[in-house]
Structure 1
Amino acid sequence: MSRICELTGKGRQVGHNVSHANNKTKRVFLPNLQKVTLLSEKLDRSFKFRVSTNGLRSVEHNGGLDNWLIKTSDEKLSVRALKVKRELKKAMGEAA
């Protein structure tokens, strides 16, 4: 299972460990992924995602899962999140 946030697309980054003698060795920075259940108010369902803690704060700041999915581009979202986004657009189209 890859270490990529399903809502923000945030993945691993490569950098260096730097010693006191300024020796540099390669290392990997992994995102802090958590398994969370997010509630969609318009679909009245909950969905489980692997989300970075930074992404989780962003979702809450933007007014919940529904608003986040509508505003976020499709390239950043995972396949599962895209399915939820399509379902959400369909439900919003029927309501309008």
Structure 2
Amino acid sequence: MSRRCELTGIGPMTGHSVSHSNVKTKRRFLPSLKSVALHSEALGRSERLRISNAALRTLDFKGGLDAFIVKASDDKLSPKAQKLKRQIKAKQAETAAV
């Protein structure tokens, strides 16, 4: 399982640990990921995704999973999130037509 946020695409970054004597050693900065069950209003069910804590705060700000995922670009979403986006868009189009 990769250490990548399924909604924002945030992944590990590299940098240096710098000691008191200014010796630099390579290190990785890993994203703070959390496995959460997010409820979709359009689909009426919950979906389990592995997202960063920053993405979780953004979901609260944007108004939920449906509002965030419909506006998100496909290149940042994981394949699982892209499938969820297609399902949400289809359900929203279905309810708008009725």
TM-score w.r.t. length of structure 2 = 0.96
**1:46 equivalent in alignment to 2:46:** yes
Q: Secondary structure at the match of 2:14?
A: strand
The aligned residue for residue 13 of structure 1 is 13
Runs of 4+ in 1 over 6 A off after TM superposition: none
User: 1:31: how far off?
Assistant: 0.4
Following superposition, the deviation at residue 60 of structure 1 comes to: 1.1
Structure 1 equivalent of residue 25 of structure 2: 25
* Equivalent in the alignment of 1:89: 89
Counterpart mapping for 1:38-77 below 5 A? 38-77=38-77
Counterpart of 1:16 in 2: which secondary structure? strand
Aligned residues: 96
One-letter identity of the residue aligned with 1:13:
M
Q: Please, which runs of 5 or more residues in structure 1 have no aligned partner? A: none
Which stretches in structure 2 are left out of the alignment for 5+ residues?
Answer: none
Q: CA deviation at 1:42?
A: 1.1
CA RMSD of aligned residues (A): 0.6
Matching residue of 2:35: 35
Report the identity percentage.
53
Using the alignment, how far apart are the partners of 1:15 and 1:56 within structure 2?
Answer: 25
